[in-house]
Amino acid sequence: MSTPKILISACLVGEPVRYDGKSNLIDHSLISTWQSQDLLLPICPEVIGGLKTPRPPAEIQLNGSLQTQQGIDVTAEFQRGAELTLQKALKHNIKIAILTEKSPSCGSQLIYDGAFARKLIKGQGVTAKLLEKHGIKVFNQFELAEAEDHLKATALNDPNIKRKQ
Ligand code: SF4
């Protein structure tokens, strides 16, 4: 069995899927290495959940719903995106994900507080939370070395996985 793929936020590999039509492209040797090994599986939960690009930004509210600043409820789209991402991850035997910090879908440690005032609080986006609930380890774009260590440890601990060098 070969190394399982790494799920990654599509905006981190340059896909212009952010709410404002831009990307969060990161330039890092580990990303290039994983790309050359065909290990990355890019996905944008918000796009596969049915939201258009560009789209109004949304934040997680105190009651857990997702709303735009104009008060449009997009909880269903965010939830659908999270569930479709999980399905894809399970289908590909994904063990780790690298997701964009601060996003209401992809954030794994920090999110905005729901008041559209650019204030960050501890918390997880809906996709990051669902993946972790199903045993998928989520890293952010600033934890690539940690993700690589985790990937190596997973391969070492599973005799069925042959790590590409
Ligand atoms: S939902 Fe995730 S992948 Fe899509 S634009 Fe936002 S941070 Fe990037």
**pLDDT tens track for 89-148:** 999 999 999 999 999 999 999 999 999 999 999 999 999 999 999 999 999 999 999 999
Atom of ligand 1 nearest to the CA of 19: 5
- Which residue's CA is minimally distant from atom 5 of ligand 1? 18
Q: How far is the CA of 32 from the centre of ligand 1 (A)?
A: 20
pLDDT confidence band for 6 (50 / 70 / 90): very high
* Cα torsion 145, 147, 152, 153: sign: positive
How far apart, in Å, do the first and last CA atoms of the chain sit?
14
Side-chain-side CA neighbours of residue 152 (13 Å): 8
Is 105 a pocket residue for ligand 1 (Cβ < 6 Å)?
A: yes
Test site for ligand 1: of 84, 85, 106, most ligand atoms within 8 A of the Cβ: 106
Q: How far is the CA of 139 from the centre of ligand 1 (A)?
A: 14
Q: Are 118 and 159 in contact (CB under 8 A)?
A: no
Tens digits of per-residue pLDDT, 54-91? 999 999 999 999 999 999 999 999 999 999 999 999 99
Residue type, 83: E
